[in-house]
């Protein structure tokens, strides 16, 4: 009773936002949709939460069809949209109470589920939601999305624009919710968060590039990957760009991640090339690919 | 720093009522440097940046940007800098060309110069086919690249970038940083905030703000050595506390 998506397509005027995509989220799974702005993530969320109708295809959420049984879905899912969409003029407690009432429940009834998150904002329960800081708004939005004890939780880019410390805390929170049996579909543009999901779908331009566990996706990287470093980074990027054996060269932290178009590539050749171009402090070492490497290779 | 400074900040403080958003910070940014200005949400980065670009008056302390005092010469500061943020960059319902013309006009460029600049910019970005399309129809990454180029129209010496790559796809994000490198190479000073810690590694030096103060400031390499970790992400997690 997770999520099932079959051949879903959606277009807005001339733009195809989703192109015939299919995937399954198992019950209790923490599933990540990983892709940049404009990939189609929000469109998919809106279809699955019954706020938008697909042009083609079928989908079920918690066993309910998104079209025929949309009312049941609305009772059984929690949705935290990318944009803060609570009532700014209501206080923290009023917002939570409002959402509980709408779903025919009370704060007390499901307090256990939200307790861990809500206690962090409870000291500010009389403050208007519009006056909260970004991190507190996020916690309130999550509390409101959980107050009716949903079977499936949809989180659309909950960590965009959030600093690394708060992002880490947020993911720890998701892991604990998952342990309570909630199926979670979460989207993010941060590739490092993909590693925290059970399975992920890489999505770009309305297409799913790959679906699997983060481990398998990392290991499916089709080439040998090298990390390259030299004293002058900018010159290094330019020189790698014009090297005849370069397949890809992307800045990656303090290194440039490099792959070759030559199956018999020898790192010594590259070192020589860089030396000939006046580089110093050259390092070329083979390295393990990350999700981000795979994403870039697939979307190249 | 012995060479000429693009930015000099001394004991800069900003309070809002009883709350001290920026607490007595001091640092210098050298000409041509790529300076990463990091910190958790709410650490005071935006407030500090607003003071540096001349739109918020400090409570106390001194800041000089492009040799102009941010308090007494705020207007000169604004003319000497470029600024782009993630939130507001361009007008979605104007075309790329119209945006360039509009901002060129705002920056006081002559009509003839705007024409030349527009051609140059579209060429450099490889956007011939998109030049007459509405900005709203562009992918975010492209928007941000255009916005960056627009912030350079008046040939500023220092460019302030507030989370320029948030949500941008990984390839475009890297192309964006290549543009940053290129401008730094041409002698421009870059002052940039980001939540991507791999991008922090691309900076010549980074500062990390925690609760209104600058808690660390050095090259990424030295910071990693100092905190005995392998990545800037780990440095950040060690230093930055969540203030909520």
Indicate the residue of B201, B231, B242 with minimum beta-carbon distance to A165.
B242
- pLDDT of res. A210: 93
Whether A34 contacts A217, CB under 8 Å: no
Whether A237 contacts A248, CB under 8 Å: no
Residues of B in contact with A35 (CB under 8 A): 169
CB contact under 8 A, A164 and B140: no
CB atoms within 10 A of CB B17: 5
B50: which 2 tokens? 């607003």
What does the pLDDT look like over A281-290, one tens digit per residue?
999 999 999 9
Distance from C-alpha of A77 to C-alpha of A7, rounded to nearest angstrom: 22
Pairing outcome for strands B205-210 and B213-218 = antiparallel
Give Cα B120 to chain centroid, integer Å: 22
> Distance, in angstroms, between B234 CA and closest chain A CA?
10
| B17 contact partners, CB below 8 Å, separation of at least 6 | none
- Asked whether the predicted pLDDT for residue B211 surpasses 70, the reply is yes
Domains detected in chain A: 3-212 (3.40.50.300), 226-299 (3.30.70)
Q: Which residues of chain A have pLDDT under 50?
A: none
- pLDDT of res. A35: 87
What does the pLDDT look like over A233-247, one tens digit per residue?
889 999 999 999 999
A179: which 2 tokens? 């342990």
- pLDDT of res. B243: 46
For residue A40, CA distances in Å to A132, A209, B107, B230 come to 29, 13, 36, 35
Q: How many residues does chain A have?
A: 300
The interface pTM score, or ipTM, of the predicted complex is 0.81
Distance from C-alpha of B54 to C-alpha of B189, rounded to nearest angstrom: 17
Indicate the residue of A166, A237, A253 with minimum beta-carbon distance to B242.
A166
Residues of A in contact with B221 (CB under 8 A): 254
- pLDDT of res. B141: 85
- Grade residue B3 by pLDDT with cuts at 50, 70 and 90: low
CB atoms within 10 A of CB A48: 25
Nearest CA in chain A to B171: A296
Beta bridge partners of A33: A187, A201
Distance from C-alpha of B91 to C-alpha of B101, rounded to nearest angstrom: 12
| A46 contact partners, CB below 8 Å, separation of at least 6 | A52
What 8-state DSSP symbol labels residue B66?
T
Q: Please state, rounded to an integer, the average pLDDT across all residues of chain B.
A: 91
Q: How many residues does chain B have?
A: 244
Mean pLDDT of all residues in B130-156: 90
Give the count of alpha carbons within 13 A of A108, CB side only: 0
| A51 contact partners, CB below 8 Å, separation of at least 6 | none
For residue A245, CA distances in Å to A241, A266, A269, A270, A290 come to 9, 10, 9, 8, 22
What 8-state DSSP symbol labels residue B95?
B
What does the pLDDT look like over A263-272, one tens digit per residue?
999 999 999 9
Distance from C-alpha of A203 to C-alpha of A41, rounded to nearest angstrom: 8
> Is the domain B32-46+74-239 a CATH 3.40.50.300 member?
yes
Nearest to B191 by CA among B76, B38, B79: B38
- Grade residue B42 by pLDDT with cuts at 50, 70 and 90: confident
> Distance, in angstroms, between B88 CA and closest chain A CA?
14
A300: which 2 tokens? 């190249």
- pLDDT of res. B1: 42
- pLDDT of res. B244: 44
Name residue, tokens 């992918």. Answer: B139
- pLDDT of res. B88: 66
Whether B96 contacts B52, CB under 8 Å: no
Nearest to A289 by CA among A248, A245, A247, A257: A257
CB contact under 8 A, A35 and B169: yes
Q: Where are the domains of chain B?
A: 32-46+74-239
- Grade residue B221 by pLDDT with cuts at 50, 70 and 90: very high
Beta bridge partners of B83: B160
What does the pLDDT look like over B59-84, one tens digit per residue?
999 999 999 999 999 999 999 999 99
Residues of B in contact with A165 (CB under 8 A): 40, 236-237, 240-242
Residues of A in contact with B232 (CB under 8 A): 253
Pairing outcome for strands A152-155 and A183-188 = parallel
- Asked whether the predicted pLDDT for residue B2 surpasses 80, the reply is no
Is residue B185 within a helix (H) or strand (E), and if so which, with residue range?
helix B170-185
Name residue, tokens 């979670």. Answer: A184
What 8-state DSSP symbol labels residue B50?
H
- pLDDT of res. A53: 97
Q: What is the largest CA-CA distance in chain A?
A: 73
For residue B166, CA distances in Å to A17, A37, A42, A161, B184 come to 21, 9, 16, 6, 21
Whether B9 contacts B217, CB under 8 Å: no
Give the count of alpha carbons within 13 A of A169, CB side only: 18
Whether B157 contacts B184, CB under 8 Å: no
- Number of A–B residue contacts, CB under 8 Å: 107
CB contact under 8 A, A136 and B167: no
Nearest to B191 by CA among B216, B159, B147, B213: B159
B160: which 2 tokens? 């302030």
Whether A186 contacts A33, CB under 8 Å: yes
Distance from C-alpha of B52 to C-alpha of B74, rounded to nearest angstrom: 9
> Distance, in angstroms, between A222 CA and closest chain B CA?
18
- pLDDT of res. B241: 62
């Amino acid at each position: 009773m997770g999520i099932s998506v079959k051949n879903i397509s959606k277009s807005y005027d001339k733009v195809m936002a989703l192109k015939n995509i299919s995937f399954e989220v198992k019950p209790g799974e923490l599933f990540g949709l990983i892709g940049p702005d404009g990939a189609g993530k929000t469109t998919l969320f809106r279809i699955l939460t019954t706020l938008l109708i697909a042009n083609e295809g079928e989908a079920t959420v918690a066993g309910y069809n998104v079209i025929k049984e949309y009312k049941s879905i609305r009772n059984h899912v929690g949705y935290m949209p990318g944009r803060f969409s609570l009532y700014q003029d209501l206080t923290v407690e009023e917002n939570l109470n409002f959402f509980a009432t709408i779903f025919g429940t009370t704060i007390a009834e499901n307090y256990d589920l939200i307790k861990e998150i809500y206690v962090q904002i409870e000291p500010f329960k009389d403050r208007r939601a519009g006056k909260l800081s970004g991190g507190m708004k996020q916690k309130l939005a999550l509390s409101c999305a959980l107050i009716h004890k949903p079977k499936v939780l949809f989180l659309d880019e909950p960590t965009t624009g959030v600093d690394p410390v708060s992002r880490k805390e947020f993911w720890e929170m998701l892991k604990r919710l998952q342990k309570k049996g909630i199926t979670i579909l979460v989207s993010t543009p941060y590739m490092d968060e993909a590693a925290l999901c059970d399975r992920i779908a890489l999505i770009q331009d309305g297409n799913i590039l790959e679906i699997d566990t983060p481990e398998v996706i990392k290991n499916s990287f089709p080439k040998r990957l090298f990390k390259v470093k030299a004293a002058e980074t900018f010159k290094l990027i330019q020189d790698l760009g014009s090297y005849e054996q370069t397949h890809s060269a992307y800045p990656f932290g303090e290194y440039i991640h490099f792959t070759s178009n030559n199956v018999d590539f020898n790192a010594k050749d590259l070192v020589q090339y860089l030396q000939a171009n006046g580089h110093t402090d050259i390092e070329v070492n083979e390295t393990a690919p990350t999700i981000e490497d795979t994403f870039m290779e697939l979307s190249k | 720093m012995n060479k000429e400074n693009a930015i000099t900040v001394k004991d800069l403080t900003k309070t809002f009522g009883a709350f001290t958003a920026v607490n007595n910070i001091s640092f210098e940014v050298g000409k041509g440097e790529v300076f990463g200005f990091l910190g958790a949400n709410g650490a005071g980065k935006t407030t500090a940046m607003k003071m540096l670009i001349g739109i918020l008056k400090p409570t106390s302390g001194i800041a000089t940007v492009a040799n102009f005092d941010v308090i007494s010469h705020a207007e000169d500061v604004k003319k000497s800098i470029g600024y782009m943020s993630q939130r507001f960059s361009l007008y979605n319902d104007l075309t790329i060309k119209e945006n360039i013309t509009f901002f060129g006009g705002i920056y006081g460029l002559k009509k003839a110069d705007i024409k030349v600049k527009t051609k140059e910019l579209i060429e450099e970005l490889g956007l011939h086919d998109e030049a007459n399309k509405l900005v709203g129809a562009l992918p975010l990454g492209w928007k941000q690249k255009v916005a960056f180029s627009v912030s350079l129209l008046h040939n500023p010496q220092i460019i302030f970038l507030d989370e320029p790559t948030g949500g941008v796809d990984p390839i475009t994000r890297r192309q964006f940083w290549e543009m940053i490198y290129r401008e730094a190479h041409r002698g421009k000073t870059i002052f940039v905030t980001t939540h991507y810690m791999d991008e922090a590694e691309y900076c010549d030096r980074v500062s990390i703000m925690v609760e209104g103060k600058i808690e660390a400031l050095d090259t990424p390499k030295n910071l990693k050595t100092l905190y005995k970790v392998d990545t800037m992400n780990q440095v950040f997690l060690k230093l930055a506390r969540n203030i909520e």
